[in-house]
Amino acid sequence: MATGSLFKIRRTKSLIINIMGFAQTLIGLFSFKRILRLLIALLYVNIVYGKILIFFTGA
């Protein structure tokens, strides 16, 4: 039983490391500036659409 749980922990650890590596390669492919710009654009769109929705629901 103990060895089974240890194996599970090791597997999840390796999985997390793999996901982190994948995320790092993604960030490497896309430049950091591009990701930042995308996030800002998404935030801006959310704010604008939120205001429009509030305006239409308020009216």
Under 8 Å CB-to-CB from 35, ≥6 apart: which residues? 27
Question: What are the pLDDT digits (tens) for 8-59?
Answer: 878 888 888 888 888 888 777 777 788 788 889 989 988 888 887 777 777 5
Q: Measure the CA–CA gap between 29 and 11, rounded to whole angstroms.
A: 27
SS3 label, residue 47:
helix
pLDDT at position 46 is 87
Residue 1: is its pLDDT beyond 60? no
pLDDT at position 36 is 84
The stretches of the chain forming alpha helices (DSSP H) are 2-29, 32-58
pLDDT band at 2 (very low <50, low <70, confident <90, very high): low
pTM to 2 decimals?
A: 0.36
Q: Measure the CA–CA gap between 33 and 42, rounded to whole angstroms.
A: 14
